[in-house]
Chain A
Amino acid sequence: MSILVDKNTRLLVQGITGREGTFHTNQMIAFGTNVVGGVVPGKGGQVFEGDKGNLPIFDSVREAREETGANASIIFVPAKFAPDAMYEAADAGLPLVICLTEHIPVLEMINVRSYLDRRATRLIGPNCPGLITPGEAKVGIIPGSIVTPGTVGLVSRSGTLTYEVVYALTQRGIGQSTCVGIGGDPIKGMDFIDVLKLFEEDPDTSEVIMIGEIGGNAEEQAATFIKESMTKRVTSFIAGRSAPPGRRMGHAGAIVEGKSGTAEGKIAALEAAGVRVAANPDQIVDMIV
């Protein structure tokens, strides 16, 4: 039915006592996600009083994993502490870590990536909305009300633009297998190719929507991958055609640098790989129907 998260996901929340951590833990539980505990260094032994019951809080991810059998964690801690949280989750051997935190310095993320690449931990984010498998589990902040179960896989660098497309799909009765927001930072965990590969292998995903934006060359790399290794249909939209060069459009990674990272270049590469590229987000749904 899905990739990365489902009914078997046993989730830890790093930073569960913070404002965002608390709010979204309740939201995730309300959606049906199996949240098994929280981690806040120094608050081990305390209890998280959620809307739907209490959860144990641990001092460390390692302890939390041993006690709860957690197999994923989500990070809701400020940028200053988020790299530590990612290192800790990887060190504890969690197979999946999702980091929502925005504003982590790039050089810090280079170190985090290099550390994770030497371990069996998959990272989604940072600076992302997380992911959601309709009917099974929501790990992040994608509104549960806009999704519906189905077979379209969706992967995106943006948050609200993803909501826009998912909502339009749902309104037209087109369900989703899993929606993954990989985040808007230049150096991150899973990139388009990593997620596309999982969708290609997932028997319950019939086709894929990929939402990219200006900056970097992840879309171009994805185009090569799609051409060489994907049998499933891919439909895309690239944001930022009207963005001026040299300006960072909100996301740290969304910048046209000189001649690289333009929307035109990405669209051309995708079209050459047989991907249908929509001119505007509303059009994507028409192309899927």
Chain B
Amino acid sequence: MNLHEYQAKRLFAEHGIPIPHGEVAFTPEEARKITQDLGGRAVIKSQVLTGGRGKAGGIKVAQSPDEAEANARAILGMTIKGLTVNKVLVDELAPGIRQELYLAALIDRGRRLPMIMASAAGGMDIEDVADKSPEKIHIAHIDPTIGVRGFQTTYLARAMNLPREVWGDFHKIVVGLYDCFKTNDASLTEINPLIITGEGKLLALDGKMSIDDNALSRQPRLAEMRDFDEEPPTEAEARRTGITFIKLDGNICCMVNGAGLAMATMDIIKLYGGEPANFLDIGGGARADQVATALRLILSDPNVEAVLFNIFGGITRGDEVARGILSALEQIDTKVPMVVRLAGTNAQEGLALLAEADMLTAATLSEAAEKAVAAAKAARETGRKS
């Protein structure tokens, strides 16, 4: 789960990391009031869970409360990468920027350890820095039993060529960031940029934080921070039903048990010339009601031209899935062609149940994909003729 900038920065502040004064505004009037309280000048920053806000015009500096109100009016309601801006962060302006740095705590999967990643090339996309000049990125792995140690922050500060007068504060910020990372079960805490102000102080100007979804059950405070406005309603409903669903732009839906098999099913749809419309894992032991919900969700997409069911029964039973498909079809009136491929536990029983329904069947995954792509094409052509 990703947090908004304002949420991330507030958590940073709880761990002693200096952030600009600021408040969240939901209306232009609120933005004006906050700017007044901040002394008349502010930066208005859209709060949406995507990058590239600046380029999209979602971040604007205001030299007066009037301008803050106008900026907020322009930004609120705008769409950035498909997400509507519902709130802005109104932050005080930084007292001059002498240097922009990058600092993050994240997990090194290969080494199986948390690490601090730091760079003097802050303020830009760190992926680009890693790509073009990897020597500018410096890493210190953290042993969880001892945490961040002074020699590590000294190493990073030296490598980044930081002025010695900020080394002490830099150490505190790195310790605070790791602490924030660990306490909140984050998979990423990132400050970009961390600036050295005109007064020679360090300040976290922008923040990003992702929380490990598997830890939300033990982080109730963070679970409450989820912004439901930012999650497509279909994905939210799937999550509540215990299904993993990710909406994509293609024309062929797939419903599969198991994440790996679901990915492989998407891949094979593409291989046969279709485009997957979603990722959907109904999980192990999928019950009929879950299957029905899943089918309703995928059919709510108007671009869908065919549905492919690929169920490999292990814990999941083919007859149970078949019952789910049938009960869903009783509730949903659809003409979208469907291809079913059932294998493994109780597959024959499942196929027998589905024999009555108007569905295509396939013995293998390749055959299923081929049939689904052909059915989608036929449906499209019929659609054109009529």
Q: With A143-B314, A242-B269 as known contacts, state yes or no: A110 contacts B260, CB within 8 Å.
A: no
Closest-by-CB residue of A relative to B184 is A107
Task: List B221-273 residues whose CB lies under 8 Å from chain A.
Answer: 244, 246, 248, 256-264, 266-271
Chain A 211-237 interface mask (CB, 8 Å, partner B; 1/0):
101101100010000000000000001
Q: Which of A104, A105, A145, A242 has its CB near the most chain B CB atoms (within 10 A)?
A: A242
> In the complex the two chains form, what is the Cα distance from A160 to B265 in whole Å?
11
CB distance A241 to B270 under 8 Å?
Answer: yes
CB distance B365 to A280 under 8 Å?
Answer: yes
Closest-by-CB residue of A relative to B266 is A242
> In the complex the two chains form, what is the Cα distance from A48 to B266 in whole Å?
42
With an 8 A cutoff between CB atoms, is B91 at the interface? no
With an 8 A cutoff between CB atoms, is B312 at the interface? yes
Contacts of B143 in A (CB 8 A): 114
> In the complex the two chains form, what is the Cα distance from A113 to B112 in whole Å?
8
With an 8 A cutoff between CB atoms, is A72 at the interface? no
CB distance A243 to B260 under 8 Å?
Answer: no
> In the complex the two chains form, what is the Cα distance from A91 to B126 in whole Å?
41
Chain A 87-131 interface mask (CB, 8 Å, partner B; 1/0):
000000000000000011111101101100000000000000100
With an 8 A cutoff between CB atoms, is A149 at the interface? no
Nearest CB on A from B145, distance (A) = 7
> In the complex the two chains form, what is the Cα distance from A161 to B279 in whole Å?
15
Q: Chain B interface mostly helix, strand, loop or mixed? A: mixed
With an 8 A cutoff between CB atoms, is B276 at the interface? yes
Task: List B175-234 residues whose CB lies under 8 Å from chain A.
Answer: 182, 185, 187, 212-215, 217-218
- Which 10 A-B residue pairs are closest in the complex by CB-CB distance? A158-B260, A250-B259, A160-B258, A161-B260, A105-B215, A239-B263, A160-B261, A258-B127, A250-B281, A161-B261
Additional pairs, 18, CB under 8 Å, beyond known A146-B344, A239-B261, A249-B246: A103-B217, A106-B185, A107-B114, A129-B314, A159-B260, A160-B256, A160-B258, A162-B260, A163-B344, A168-B364, A213-B263, A214-B263, A217-B109, A240-B263, A242-B267, A247-B246, A280-B264, A282-B365
Q: Chain A interface mostly helix, strand, loop or mixed? A: loop
CB distance A281 to B279 under 8 Å?
Answer: no
Chain A 147-176 interface mask (CB, 8 Å, partner B; 1/0):
000000000111111111001100000000
Chain A 78-93 interface mask (CB, 8 Å, partner B; 1/0):
0110000000000000
Q: Which of B185, B266, B281 has its CB near the most chain A CB atoms (within 10 A)?
A: B266
> In the complex the two chains form, what is the Cα distance from A178 to B217 in whole Å?
35
Q: Which of B110, B130, B263, B312 has its CB near the most chain A CB atoms (within 10 A)?
A: B263
Q: With A143-B345, A167-B344, A243-B266 as known contacts, state yes or no: A111 contacts B144, CB within 8 Å.
A: yes
Contacts of B244 in A (CB 8 A): 250
CB distance B112 to A105 under 8 Å?
Answer: no
Contacts of B182 in A (CB 8 A): 107
CB distance B218 to A105 under 8 Å?
Answer: yes
CB distance A79 to B214 under 8 Å?
Answer: yes
CB distance A252 to B263 under 8 Å?
Answer: no
Instruction: Jot down 29 A-B pairs with beta carbons below 8 A, ordered by A.
Output: A105-B214, A105-B215, A106-B185, A106-B215, A107-B114, A110-B114, A111-B144, A113-B112, A142-B314, A156-B260, A158-B260, A158-B261, A160-B314, A161-B263, A161-B264, A163-B344, A213-B259, A217-B110, A241-B270, A242-B270, A249-B263, A250-B263, A250-B279, A254-B259, A258-B127, A259-B127, A280-B264, A280-B268, A282-B365
Other-chain contact of A252, B213, B276, B364 (Cβ < 8 Å): B213
> In the complex the two chains form, what is the Cα distance from A216 to B114 in whole Å?
14
Contacts of B218 in A (CB 8 A): 80, 105
Q: With A214-B263, A280-B366 as known contacts, state yes or no: A187 contacts B109, CB within 8 Å.
A: yes
Nearest CB on B from A237, distance (A) = 7
Chain A interface size, under 10 / 10 to 19 / 20 to 34 / 35 or more: 35 or more
With an 8 A cutoff between CB atoms, is A277 at the interface? no
Chain B 272-303 interface mask (CB, 8 Å, partner A; 1/0):
00001001010010000000000000000000
Other-chain contact of A250, B262, B268, B270 (Cβ < 8 Å): B262
Other-chain contact of B279, A104, A106, A163, A249 (Cβ < 8 Å): A249
Contacts of A211 in B (CB 8 A): 260
Q: Which of B110, B131, B214 has its CB near the most chain A CB atoms (within 10 A)?
A: B214
With an 8 A cutoff between CB atoms, is A272 at the interface? no
Closest-by-CB residue of A relative to B264 is A239
> In the complex the two chains form, what is the Cα distance from A281 to B341 in whole Å?
14
> In the complex the two chains form, what is the Cα distance from A253 to B110 in whole Å?
12
Nearest CB on B from A192, distance (A) = 12
CB distance B258 to A158 under 8 Å?
Answer: yes
Q: With A161-B264, A167-B312 as known contacts, state yes or no: A103 contacts B259, CB within 8 Å.
A: no
With an 8 A cutoff between CB atoms, is B157 at the interface? no
With an 8 A cutoff between CB atoms, is B315 at the interface? yes
Contacts of B215 in A (CB 8 A): 105-108
Q: With A143-B344, A252-B213 as known contacts, state yes or no: A239 contacts B107, CB within 8 Å.
A: no
> In the complex the two chains form, what is the Cα distance from A114 to B244 in whole Å?
30
> In the complex the two chains form, what is the Cα distance from A131 to B73 in whole Å?
59
CB distance B260 to A106 under 8 Å?
Answer: no
> In the complex the two chains form, what is the Cα distance from A159 to B297 in whole Å?
24
Contacts of A221 in B (CB 8 A): 110
